[in-house]
Amino acid sequence: MLENLLVVVIIAMALLFADRRSFARSERRTKVLYILLLLPASYLSLLFILQLPWFNIGHLTKAMYGWPARQIVALLK
């Protein structure tokens, strides 16, 4: 868990360091969009750090593409 936390902190610090100047100069709408994009990343980071079996990207892709993929496989058999 500590290693996962360290990885997330390093990535977050690099992201904040790289975007600090452009974020400070950007308009309010851009800042709101940036923060909205960070929300899913924060959720996935929490899942990664705590290794929780909650809904994640794999579940989302399976829900979106699972049925069509099974239909294609059944067609090819």
Question: How do the pLDDT tens digits run along the chain, 77 residues long?
Answer: 899 999 999 999 999 899 888 888 999 999 999 999 999 999 999 999 999 889 888 888 998 999 999 999 999 98
pTM as predicted: 0.71
Please work out, in degrees rounded to the nearest 5, the angle formed at the alpha carbon of residue 45 by the alpha carbons of 29 and 38: 0
Helices vs. strands in the chain: H and E counts, helices first: 3, 0
